[in-house]
Amino acid sequence: AVLWPASAPRALGTADQAAAAPPPAAATPGGGCLMPFGVPLVVALAADGTTTATTHGYVEAAATGPRPAGAALIAGLTYLPAFLTEVEADALQAEVDGVPWDGDNKSRRTQQYGFGFHWRNRHSNALAHMPAPRDRLPAGSSAPLQRLSDLGLVPGAHFDQCIVNDFVGGQGIKPHIDREFFGEEVVGFSLGDPVVMDFRSIDTGEVRALLLEPRSALILTGPARWRWQHAISPSPMTLYRGCKTKRGRRTSFTFRTIRDFDVVCRE
């Protein structure tokens, strides 16, 4: 993929317009090219009208998804557009909006179910049993999770931890891999506005970008789960394949299975 590091958009002056062509590209470790930092958005779009903005820079359309059925963006990544019905999505949104949000994460509002994650504890006492009514997963998640199981997409998974993230005003999430005490499958549901989630290989540095659409489901297993960081760039705007849209509210549901109960706080 061609990767152009992102910078804040700005107006071009006369001197800029005269030199609007992007500078020569250099090879990156994972293949493709990396343009120098500081490329303005208008220059990136002039060079490639189908570019997508990510946490790591601008990528060409060939490095983005969704892709046609059967064409994997990353090994181990499964993307299901419009997987939740409108009724299921509305019920889930109403369920979490009907209870208080937590403010312990500085970058966004959250809710946790089953087991709560201690943000500052790296291993010991990293998880704690949540009190009722959050001692179990959101009721509205039961049917779509069961449907994933029935389709054979999460074989043997028994999800017991859920975090709900509420993104408003262009909030994002830093590049990360879900913690090692969670199991093989990580499942995500997206409600509200679409957003680009980007992925970076920790082995090659390659970058991919996926548009998460309303009511979609995302499954990470294998390499996508363990060898690729995922992130959402903090920005008031989404740039996807050359199209700019203002970002509003998005609510995500992430479901995981605890595989190492030694990290659970003993009360």
| 146-177: b (≥16 Cβ within 10 Å) or e | ebbeeeebbeebebbbbbbbbbeebbbbebeb
The whole-number average pLDDT for the span 45-53 is: 88
Distances (CA, A) of 27 to 1, 30, 92, 114, 134: 10, 8, 45, 45, 49
- 117-170 pLDDT, tens per residue? 876 655 656 888 999 999 999 999 999 999 999 999 998 778 999 999 999 989
Determine which of 15-19, 103-107, 158-162 has the lowest per-residue pLDDT on average.
15-19
**What pTM did the predictor assign?**
0.86
